[in-house]
Amino acid sequence: MIWTAVEEVLAAGLEQGAAPGLVAVVGDESGIIHQTSMGVREIPSGSPMTPDTIFRVASQTKAVNAIAVLQLVERGLLNLSTPVGDILPDFDLIQVIAGWDGEVPRLRAPKTRARVHHLMTHTSGLTYDVLHPLARRYLLATGTPMPSSAKMACFASPMVVEPGTEWTYGMSADWTGRIVEAASGEKLDEYYRNHIFAPLGLEDICFDLNAQQETRLAPAYRRDASGDWIDTHFAWEPKPEFLSAGHGLFASAADYFAIQQVLLSGGESNGVRLLSQASVANMLSDHMGGIPVKTMPSTVPEFSEDMHIDPGATWGLDIMLTAEQLPGMRKAGSAGWAGTFNTFFWIDPQAKLAAALYMQTLPFFDSRALELSRDFERAIYA
């Protein structure tokens, strides 16, 4: 059968220790055309991975938030060129790390006011402590939490570079989520549900799982010193002070595919239009203006390996773009991204397909998980 080779690649990846289990989907503008689940969801019980398994999709939340932002732009409630501080005045209090006096940071006001566009391209100067040594040093010196803490105090985190000068992937999306709330007058979960999830008929993509969904949530595993999988017992803060547009969503593979389908189909899925074709084209256009999108080094290896960026990649509006095709993989003009627990997705408008691979392991960009994601992609295009 046509999908046998793909499934053989996935099975081999599990055999080689990429993850305890996985779910993979491939589809086109009409929907999912192949889905497979294999391995185990929960090791002690031996519960198998199933198509309806729920995953922490983490940074795949960012692409959903980009849809929300562009909807608000279409409604005339938001402009990407607006300074962030004009919408959220506390943003104008954010400073840039200028140096250190011993372990005491020196801060200065930025020379440029960051705009909404800077947040969505990760050129605001903000980042994550796990991916930038300067942010990590500041966190350790001051105790300022990062977004994973779910504490509002994380929004006091400073910039590590001047806005508009470098791609420093990170917590910009959490500020953008607050902008969605300010512009719409709705809480983030309400906005997503009312304007994205409910119109598409999605029930297994959300910020807060119900009791039945909890039974389908895959635990997050890591390898111990001997290479055996152990449960990290990872859980997001149950009572967050804010909802994270950068990492907060849970989803099944099928429900997230509906998001991919919207982008692949120029703004609609199964006859439901969420965005205009022009807005999707804008989201999937290169917005970097020559600023390179580079691999970011890990500062917390147990949580994330170095965040690898493929050669020729660039950035749209909260989504990575493929500017140069890699041999045997997605075409130039494709878009996609990943999530902390080694989930990977992409859409390829030229080939008219979309695909995703879901695992639940740490650290992010684990070498074996990354290799399997690439083998999966090559098997599809082969």
Please write down the HEC assignment for all residues of 254-279: HHHHHHHHHHHCCCEECCEECCCHHH
Active-site option among 62, 128, 252, 256: 62
Number of H helices, E strands in the chain: 12, 17
Q: Check if 62 is active-site.
A: yes
Active site residue 59: yes
Residue 65, H or E segment = helix 61-74
Give the active site residue among 169, 221, 256, 358.
169
Alpha-carbon distance of 200 to 272, in angstroms, equals 7
**Contact of 74 with 279, CB cutoff 8 Å:** yes
CA 373/CA 127 separation, integer angstroms: 25
Active site residue 256: no
Q: How far is CA 27 from CA 71, 182, 205, 347, in A?
A: 25, 35, 18, 9
Catalytic residue among 59, 148, 157, 279: 59
Q: How many CB atoms lie within 10 A of CB 200?
A: 18
Instruction: Please give the Cα distance from 119 to 176 (Å, whole number).
Output: 7
Residues ≥6 apart with Cβ < 8 Å to 239: 150
Sign of the CA dihedral with 326 first, then 247, 285, and 382 last = positive
Active-site annotation, residues: 59, 62, 169
